């Protein structure tokens, strides 16, 4: 465990994308500019980034950036932050916003082009150095402090504040959302009103068994039971806070249609983060961004708060209870390759903040870790952008083909099985194939089109030509698949789910994919009340945890849709348990 701690502490250090030159103390006050307004454009994550730069004769007066297609809560944060920093530094040599590097780099490029159009030698603009100041020491007193502003942390905060509890959230990143914002497919839930309305038969027992089988029975059945039996109520709760999930589809490893998603098939993560954020604002819940928790404070074995730090302040936050919701360590290559060396070089779908901080802090005060070596790869990740192609694409009827144009697996088996099947193909990649009907019914696909990771053909033969595939073979593969859908009998690979629609409505689309590191199933041990369990097998008083920071729920493999179920269900459980604890 000591090695685990050392590796995490080393890898948590952030590296700036653009470093200022050493020992440069010049400032730009002596620079001469040509006063006026100048514009530059660069390609961002979702579309064009347009920067308008206003210069006086002596300095950069103002920078305005427009990027309407950048992801809300990720790219939009960079658009809010970087222009002000460029003006403050009088230089484009500023740090990219973590989680929004594509947008950040596009902003820097667009501003650079604007400055160059004004005849400015951009390389000569040395960043103005701010003086080092002693950090202020500050003490904050609350009922509950939550570490991590992802889905689980925000869920818990909303529940606590609605119960009249004074709560604060600490978040080391510049934005809320964590890995939740990247979730695309939906939330698994059983015996829901939505399923009943749509005529879908399902049961908590089937949900439990699917999860146990998907996790190879390594899972803690008691935790899985809590997730399943509280999932329908969690869907109702989301509806009550203005975040309904009215559509249901298949996900890999599920017997029945169970994955609930927003209307139109939008990515569930960004949707929920937006709705959670609206609730935080409406409830006036304080979120301290750019503030990193460093230590859980204890007294006689009880958790009584945390230490945290921001750029200018060291905080002591005293609390009656602490909830850890910091996520996993899927962005920590040094750590996950310690347990899975074969994952070295894999892209990761995780946000940069997923480095395992909460696991470190909990372990330091005696928390037990479970399933820490269980790390999941997602089978359908576009490798140049690390964009994960949601399971709902396959659940809606898409197929996977290799470079020969042939199917090679039941596309909706568990993620580990499909990933292994992709890796086994020549080149260790494949293509996901779908049509216009699926695009029309799943708005999450628009992000893939906007990011230029799709190939498109009016006919399947035209599409085959664009991806260097034999058109006759691909056409025959689709013909066989469409016949399987018509007869509801996939003789080749025995697929039984996600067969409501065939692939026959042009244009046709393809995305080249391969597996990427996606989720860490292991973490701190909890019980059914979200209490953190010590290495001695007892609950640590006052310490609770929810979300990917915990272990035990998913076993050796997480099935799609269970991450969102976990954060909502156990976020609420952690809040209820914290309320019960502090009222004793």
Say which of 258, 415, 495, 572 is annotated catalytic.
415
Q: What's the CA gap between 177 and 203, in Å, rounded?
A: 30
Distant-in-sequence, close-in-space partners of 206: CB < 8 Å, separation ≥ 6: 190, 255, 256
Are 212 and 545 spatial neighbours (Cβ–Cβ below 8 Å)? Answer: no
Taking CA atoms, 494 is separated from 270, 304, 410, 423, 497, in Å, by 34, 54, 7, 20, 9
Instruction: Note the Cα 51 to chain centre separation in Å.
Output: 28
On whether the CB atoms of residues 545 and 362 are closer than 8 A, the answer is yes
Active site residue 558: no
Q: Which residues does 577 contact at the CB level (< 8 Å), separation at least 6?
A: 529, 530, 531, 544
For residue 47, the SS3 value is: coil
Cβ atoms of 52 and 154 within 8 Å: the answer is no
Q: Exposed, middle or buried by CB within 10 Å (0-12, 13-18, 19+), for 128?
A: middle
Contact 399, 502 (CB under 8 A): no
In sequence order, what are the residues at sequence separation of 6 or more whose Cβ sits closer than 8 angstroms to the Cβ of residue 568? 151, 152, 155, 187, 234, 237, 238
Alpha-carbon separation of residue 18 from 127, 290, 333, 386, 487 (angstroms): 11, 19, 21, 21, 57
Supply the residues annotated as catalytic: 415
């Amino acid at each position: 465990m000591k090695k685990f701690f050392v590796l995490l502490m080393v890898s948590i250090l952030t590296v700036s994308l653009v470093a200022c030159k050493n020992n440069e103390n010049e400032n730009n006050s002596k620079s001469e500019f040509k006063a006026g307004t100048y514009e530059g454009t660069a390609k961002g994550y979702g579309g064009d980034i347009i920067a308008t730069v206003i210069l006086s004769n002596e300095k950069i007066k103002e920078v305005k950036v427009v990027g309407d297609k950048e992801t809300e809560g990720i790219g939009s944060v960079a658009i809010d932050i970087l222009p002000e920093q460029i003006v403050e530094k009088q230089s484009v040599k500023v740090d990219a916003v973590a989680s929004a590097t594509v947008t950040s780099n596009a902003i820097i490029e667009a501003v650079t082009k604007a400055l160059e159009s004004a005849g400015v030698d951009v390389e000569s603009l040395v960043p103005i150095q701010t003086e080092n100041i002693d950090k202020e020491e500050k003490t904050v007193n609350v009922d509950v402090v939550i570490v991590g502003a992802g889905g689980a942390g925000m869920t818990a905060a909303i529940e606590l504040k609605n119960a009249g509890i004074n709560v604060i959230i600490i978040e080391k990143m510049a934005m809320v959302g964590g890995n939740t914002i990247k979730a695309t497919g939906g939330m698994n839930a059983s015996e829901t009103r939505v399923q009943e309305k749509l005529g879908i038969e399902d049961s908590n027992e089937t949900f439990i068994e699917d999860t146990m089988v998907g996790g190879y029975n390594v899972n803690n059945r008691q935790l899985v039971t809590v997730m399943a039996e509280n999932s329908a109520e969690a869907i109702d709760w989301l509806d009550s806070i203005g975040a309904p999930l009215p559509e249901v589809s298949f996900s890999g490893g599920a017997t029945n249609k169970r994955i609930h998603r927003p209307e139109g098939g939008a990515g569930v993560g960004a949707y929920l983060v937006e709705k959670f954020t609206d609730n935080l604002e409406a409830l006036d819940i304080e979120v301290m961004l750019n503030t990193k928790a460093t230590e859980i404070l204890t007294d006689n074995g009880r958790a009584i708060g945390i230490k945290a730090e921001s750029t200018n302040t060291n905080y002591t936050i005293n609390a009656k209870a602490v909830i850890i919701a910091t996520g996993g360590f899927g962005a920590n290559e040094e750590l996950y390759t310690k347990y899975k060396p074969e994952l070295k070089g894999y892209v990761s779908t995780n946000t940069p903040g997923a480095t395992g901080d909460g696991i470190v802090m909990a372990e330091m005060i005696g928390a037990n870790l479970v399933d820490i070596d269980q790390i999941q790869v997602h089978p359908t990740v576009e490798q140049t952008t690390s964009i994960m192609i949601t399971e709902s694409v396959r659940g809606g009827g898409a197929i996977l083909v290799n470079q020969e144009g042939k199917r090679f697996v039941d596309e909706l088996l568990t993620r580990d099985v499909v990933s292994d099947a992709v890796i086994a193909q020549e080149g260790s990649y494949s293509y996901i194939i779908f049509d216009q009907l699926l695009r029309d019914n799943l708005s999450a696909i628009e992000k893939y089109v906007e990011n230029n990771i799709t190939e498109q053909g009016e006919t399947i033969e035209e599409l085959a030509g664009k991806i260097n595939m034999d058109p006759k073979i691909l056409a025959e593969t689709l013909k066989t698949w469409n016949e399987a859908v018509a007869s509801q009998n996939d003789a080749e690979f025995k697929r039984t789910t996600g067969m409501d629609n065939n692939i026959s409505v042009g244009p046709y689309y393809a995305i080249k994919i391969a597996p990427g590191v996606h989720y860490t199933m292991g973490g701190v041990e909890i019980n059914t009340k979200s209490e953190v369990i010590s290495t001695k097998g007892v609950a640590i008083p006052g310490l609770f945890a929810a979300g990917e920071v915990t272990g035990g729920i998913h076993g050796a493999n997480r099935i799609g849709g269970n991450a969102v179920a976990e954060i909502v269900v156990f976020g609420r459980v952690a809040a209820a348990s914290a309320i019960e604890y502090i009222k004793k």
